[in-house]
Amino acid sequence: MASFAPLTGAPAYAYDVRVQGSEDLDGESITLAINNVSEGYFETLDIGLMEGRFFTAADDTTGDRVAVLGQGVARRLFPDASPLGRVIEVSLGGNAGQPARVVGVVHDTRDHGLQAAGVHAIYTPARQTVWGSTFIVAAEGEPTALARFLTETIHALDPDRPVDRIRTMRELRAADVAPSRLNATLFGGFAVLALLIATVGVLAVLAFSVSQRTREFGIRMALGEGRGSLLGRVLTEGVLMAGIALLVGGGGAVMLGRLLAGYLYGVEPVDTASLMASAALLGAATVLAALLPAVRATLVDPQTALKAE
């Protein structure tokens, strides 16, 4: 299955959109991307139809001008009614546009990148406007052989036609998320480093505390406190430190997530599961860090500790 379409990420401009028969929506300025596509475009990219129909071969210069709206712009122009059959006119820079009748509404896409939100799209048939410069093909299996076949076929039809920038959707998606993936990797590395620093910090603080309280531990054991009770006492101090850190850090994470909500795509600003997993990991690291000083405290000889003082 194949179709012609404009380059992904076609320029978006602030168009003036007029709706015939509606004074409230007359001349509203909306940031739009006008995509000229052939029939089969929506099926090829698996863009779902919400109402109406897709373009067909009959949508050419001999018929009425038609258009398909993205879900966002349809909701913006017709919040309380169906746009099917309505006539819109899109103009740019004061240049009058040609009226087009709405024949369908499709789900929104992110042609300008996965992180680009708020860019609406209106689709017009290439047979009534101009053909796009991109040829999109849906295929199964390894696309390398198909790309070579398509190149040879196009050159057979027009030897002077350049064929370049052949890329799969997987490659386009990987290139789009590469900066975010790099940032996530860096932040993940910093998070692991912060966890190691926190663990070493807990170990150092508790180890110093145990070394300064040798006489106290000796007296407690001389008065009959068991080693298990002493072990639990030192571990409790470590867990208490971790609990305070988790409360402060968790509150900061929730506040920061809400501040960065507009920069996230496909991620909740407050991910409860991730916060709980991070808290469990930090808690486990703290307990392990506190275990060594706690065991050292239980090995204190009461007589030796008292003589040392």
Q: Based on the domain organization, do 9 and 128 belong to the same domain?
A: yes
In terms of residue numbers, what domain contains 196?
178-308
Do 208 and 87 have their domain in common? no
| Domain identity same for 104 and 205 | no
In a domain, 142, yes or no: no
Q: Which amino acid is at 182?
A: L
State the residue for tokens 């099926």: 43
Residue 157, domain member (yes or no): no
Domain edge (last residue) among 74, 103, 132: 132
| 204 in the same domain as 89 | no
pLDDT at 8: 42
Number of domains forming the structure of the chain: 2
Count Cβ atoms below 10 Å from residue 227 Cβ, excluding itself: 14
In a domain, 265, yes or no: yes
User: Are 86 and 206 in the same domain?
Assistant: no
Residue 214 lies in a domain: yes
pLDDT at residue 300 in the model: 67
Q: Are residues 10 and 125 in the same domain?
A: yes
122-131 burial, b for 16+ CB within 10 Å, e for fewer? bbbbbbbbee
Res 27: pLDDT = 56
* SS3 of residue 285 by DSSP: helix
Answer whether residue 235 is part of any domain.
Answer: yes
**Per-residue model confidence (pLDDT) at position 68:** 93
Tell me: do 183 and 294 sit in the same domain. Answer: yes
Query: Is 97 a domain residue?
Result: yes
In a domain, 150, yes or no: no
Shared domain for 23 and 111, answered yes or no, is yes
Residue 40 sits in the same domain as residue 99 = yes
Pairing between β-strand 100-106 and β-strand 66-70 as defined by DSSP bridges? parallel
Q: Are residues 123 and 184 in the same domain?
A: no
Assess whether 6 and 125 both reside in one domain. yes
Choosing from 74, 100, 132, the residue where a domain stops is 132
Residues of the chain with pLDDT under 50: 1-9
Q: What is the mean pLDDT of the chain?
A: 77
In a domain, 161, yes or no: no
Q: Which two tokens stand for residue 193?
A: 């480093």
114 and 203, same domain (yes or no) = no
Q: What is the value of pTM for the model shown?
A: 0.58
Q: What pLDDT score does 61 carry?
A: 86
